[in-house]
Structure 1
Amino acid sequence: MAQPTVYLASPYGFSAQWKRLLLPEFITALQDLGLEVWEPFARNGQVDVAQPGWAHQVAQRDLQDVRDADALFAIVNGTPPDEGVMVELGAAIALGKPTFLFRDDFRRCTDSEDYPLNLMLFAGLPAEGWQDFVYTSLEQIADPEKALARWAEPG
């Protein structure tokens, strides 16, 4: 049986430091659950940014990966979170994909008393128990009581 695939939506590929220090930790944590991680900066690294139309090509490839992945794990730090991550998350929600959110940023970015971010980011999560789909530390990714580990379980 093929490994479940998870699209890792994050802004961390834009910075050399983030790419070197942060992305590997997330990729490893997700792989440790038995998931095949689709990290868009690595998957679309072959695009020649000197060529006309490169941005459209990258956007189309990323959107196709969101369509083809089994689930989406979005890093939603920032106030507001990265625009590209928000589009990828919105697409995954619209496609009915399981979505999981990571935010270890303590700042609130919302007008809701319940949710730490814009309420639309939670539209793909259940009304009850949505907290199981939100991660506030790397260590929580492996937590068997949280939604991602349950979803990733074989069988």
Structure 2
Amino acid sequence: MLEYSHKPKQQIANILTQLREKQLLIINPKRKNGLILYKPYHAEFAGPGAAIGAKFDEDVLHVLPVGILSLLIPTTSQERINGYKLRRQWVKLAQQISTHSTPQKRAQTILNQFEHWFDAETTHQLPDEAFSLLVGVLPQTINAVRHDIEWVS
């Protein structure tokens, strides 16, 4: 198990090296953690149980850990298959959120989902840009929705 809890810059550098070496890793399915993978024109979220690396993420430019990231090296073909399936489910969920008709609805839904998966504090620490790239809205839209949420609370 590769666990990352401190030295975020070194953690990110290590993960990027592993991805560039096309290593296949699994986000620990027993923890509330994940990884936002920045790609040239969008971002993808890989949540608990999802596979990262190999051919999937050759185009990753940057990564952002969510929660205390814990990565596993799959040792069996079944672990790899399960990781692929879960990665696909995480991608499909983001696609479903992206189909909402208004940018504000997409922004509200992704913020709500992250608060549900993690917590409000973890969600609040993530940058507007990360959420905007996940669901295809401007960072200003995420920011505006965040401020509406805080004002209503």
- Say yes or no: TM over 0.5: no
TM-score, normalising length from structure 1?
Answer: 0.28
TM-score, normalising length from structure 2?
Answer: 0.28
Q: Which has the higher helix share?
A: 2
